Chains A and B, each alone.
Chain A
């Protein structure tokens, strides 16, 4: 900004993997001290260009200039020497080591130190945390910190390593609203210190709130670029997906008969108190609230993972209050957890194996698996969920986030569930896939009479896809919005009110 020479300029970068062109003649320049947003769906080439910048991949064509000088072929060492630091989604930290050590170890390494100067390490850690205006326990092992704390450690480590450009790969995925705000504040602080930020995201709000310039990738090409003021949500979506997405509303069929799922005065000491909620067939009911408000516990209570101390859970008017996951499944309740990677999917196994695992008894009534029945059911699920994969034999780990989530949802529907509880259904899923997942959920609800409980942080997602949304505070349902009163502003207000109440 202060200097017209870009910090890093990439010209005509092309990168192929076998027959696939991941980046096709892409140019991208980042000015000193700017906050630049890189947007694009999964597979658009975002991660590839990050790896080109960090020197992990060498491009097949094109050139890279740093401070206006040709940089030649970048490798990780050269890239960090030029001040480029990447904060990966997994943070690349050492869980069992202390905060101080995680912060300083790569600085010492870069200096070629042989001995650890603990006093200096401590001073360095203190200084950088003070500079970022954050407070972390210096001696705590990093594994004891929450995700947001680990992210701060990763950012502080990059700052300590004299970063001039910090690349953050989907940094807000695992953060709550307040933590996102803190991250934004820190990002702006870094900018004030002259550090450029490349923010990789697919969340519209964040891009519009935070960044100054925006570059959009689609299918390995740059499709849009410019000052953020030139864009609005619709323009970004159109650039990312190449088509318009309707914001839309979901209208449930008219309420009739017995509720499909009912919470009757459900309490779990310290987690839920006196929650009552009814879901009729065809309804998609959203649940919002801060982490710790009881929104996840609500799901766990119905899924037998957190049996209610008092009260009951009813399905189709029958008391099924589950004491175990098996009982919940038998009652027709399915739960797709927030962290599908660690809690749900077997990444190295095929789509078929992942699909049938929850309904294994159906396909293996005795000792042996009925392979044909399993294959037929999987094919049906595969088509119904519109999973983009060469076949149901490929490993789930090779699929994109959106497709993994579809496998997860499809698996539960194969159990014959009538109640579907989704926790963060589109976390880490790109815009196009999100729309497909929402469409599938709506079709299931409307045509098959499923009752869907959707827990999410994403206010626009809830408003666009639910016919009712409840907000939770301290294990209670605090408010309910539906019909015309269900708007983003109203929901945001309701959530803010909850914060004021809990404070």
Chain B
């Protein structure tokens, strides 16, 4: 996103404005919204979807779209946990996460190669690889969950770690999970890479005009590899993170997450046409989405209806950004 002369005209400021307005409205309807317990729980819900959104953001800036990340996340998480359980590894936290990230990256490399070498449309490529990842996982490795009784203790401990632990009026304890730090750290890194490095700028350049990027001398193959491998790695990492936060590895997890994550990224101002989008905007988009879903739950609205709301938000956000992009061109 190019720096505008007036910051309040930027997409991020607009999204932040919408977020604040929504928070005030929700707070009026339900004062419990502002309780620390609810805010901590919101933060917790942001982590996994947020990390996945960072990957989708990269793909969208490059002009593509990724629907394979939920499958990759499920596969990476399940493979690592299954290996730890079946082969009795007790390797702490770092190695499993590294392994999940690498698995995700490897699957991302498949996407990159297909998009780059065969010049295929990213939507079709990622639909295909997602189906294959899920199919292979369930067919070759298995379909049974790894539940809390068998789940690796080190990961449970990691998922339980809180930065701050407080006790509510009823005496139950609640906290701000440490995994929030992983999300913020990754967001910062992706932000710096996107805005300050040549590889990051090459993603915007490729998304804005692949032909011009080639003519200027970007190695566009490298750009695509960076985009899809990073998106895969983030998905793998997020997959295991989610699993460690719910103490369970489900090989059929993350079904339907595409909708939430893509909606959040588009809400955050990224353009489905490529060349536009920012980490800050995406984080705000994720926050809006999570907050609205969370409020729907608090209001006791059925999960099926939540999907209607998310679908509506996605379409509204796409319509708005398309309008903005058209305006910019005129």
Contacts and interface: CB of A to CB of B under 8 A. Distances in A.
A116 B329 CA distance: 26
Interface residues of A, number: 28
Nearest to B219: A109
Given A108-B198, A115-B198, A96 B5 contact: no
B165 interface: no
B328 interface: yes
B275 A113 contact: no
Given A76-B217, A139-B5, A95 B209 contact: yes
A457 to B, nearest CB: 21
A137 B5 contact: yes
Given A92-B211, A105-B205, A141-B328, A98 B2 contact: yes
Contacts of B195: 116
A134 interface: no
A77 interface: yes
B197 A92 contact: no
Interface in B194-227: 195-201, 204-205, 207-209, 211-213, 215-218
Given A93-B212, A94-B204, A106-B217, A116 B4 contact: no
Interface string A93-117: 1111110010001101110011110
Contact of B201 (A76, A88, A105): A105
Given A115-B198, A116-B198, A116-B201, A94 B213 contact: yes
A206 interface: no
B31 to A, nearest CB: 42
A482 interface: no
Contact of A141 (B2, B200, B211, B213): B2
Interface in A132-181: 137, 139-141, 143-144
B82 interface: no
Contact of A95 (B197, B199, B200, B275): B275
Contact of B197 (A115, A139, A143, A144): A115
Contacts of B213: 94
Among B2, B199, B218, B328: residue with most chain A CB under 10 A: B2
A115 B192 CA distance: 10
B271 A94 contact: no
Contacts of A114: 197-199
A92 B196 CA distance: 22
Contact of B215 (A92, A137, A141): A92
Nearest to A112: B198
Interface of B: 1-5, 195-201, 204-205, 207-209, 211-213, 215-218, 271, 274-276, 328-329
What 8 A-B pairs come out closest when comparing CB atoms? A96-B275, A98-B2, A94-B208, A92-B212, A106-B216, A96-B208, A141-B2, A92-B215
16 contacts: A88-B215, A93-B209, A94-B205, A94-B213, A96-B207, A96-B328, A97-B208, A97-B275, A115-B197, A116-B195, A116-B196, A137-B5, A139-B3, A139-B5, A140-B2, A144-B329
